[in-house]
Chain A
Amino acid sequence: GNSVTQMEGPVTLSEEAFLTINCTYTATGYPSLFWYVQYPGEGLQLLLKATKADDKGSNKGFEATYRKETTSFHLEKGSVQVSDSAVYFCALRQGDTGRRALTFGSGTRLQVQP
């Protein structure tokens, strides 16, 4: 079945540091890939997505590239801010069966210190 594996947290960084959160997946066919973010006290919200190999999703300074050869979708940001402190979830949706359900990773908590 489908699965998503994320690096365990928490990840603690100083403001303006470079961020990488690793995500790898197992899926049949050609899934779409997503990063969701959950800020304290708020619901999950879509951060970025990529729907086919070599696509790059980007939003709010975050980027992730769909790498089919390594089945990865690592999240990166060049300079994090305290306001980026949140839990980040990598997710996939199987592309070729019409199934709409998302499969999530276990989440990675990011703490950015001033």
Chain B
Amino acid sequence: GAGVSQTPSNKVTEKGKYVELRCDPISGHTALYWYRQSLGQGPEFLIYFQGTGAADDSGLPNDRFFAVRPEGSVSTLKIQRTERGDSAVYLCASSLGGDSPLHFGNGTRLTVT
């Protein structure tokens, strides 16, 4: 079956611009996570949705980062006024909730020039 889909796979943007990254979770998965992975590092937690609501947004680094999941399926991560330090691979994962395993997408590689 279809896995977690993230688009675009690559995004290059200029410093100061606004970007949106999209995640299509596995159908029926109620939990959705965003992580950020810098080169040579493990994924770093950003935000977790249970259904439509953000159950834990403690990992968002500052108020330039925002994420939504209005209908409880697709999610969009939004980054305003991008900075070069935002360059990383942004990973999305979904699960059935509880202790069920996370299924990760292949990520969006964001490069801020």
Task: List A residues at the B interface (Cβ < 8 Å).
Answer: 4, 32, 36, 41-46, 49, 51, 89, 91, 99-107
Q: What is the CA–CA distance of A104 and B42 in the complex, to the nearest angstrom?
A: 5
Q: What is the CA–CA distance of A43 and B43 in the complex, to the nearest angstrom?
A: 12
Is B91 touching A44 in the complex (CB atoms < 8 A)? yes
Interface size bracket, B side: 20 to 34
Is A101 touching B59 in the complex (CB atoms < 8 A)? yes
Q: What is the CA–CA distance of A42 and B43 in the complex, to the nearest angstrom?
A: 15
Residues from chain B with Cβ under 8 Å of A41 in the complex: 106
Is B48 touching A106 in the complex (CB atoms < 8 A)? no
Apart from the given pairs A100-B50, A101-B33, A106-B42, 9 other A-B contacts in the complex at a CB distance below 8 Å: A41-B106, A43-B4, A44-B91, A51-B99, A89-B42, A100-B56, A101-B58, A104-B42, A104-B43
Q: What is the CA–CA distance of A51 and B26 in the complex, to the nearest angstrom?
A: 24
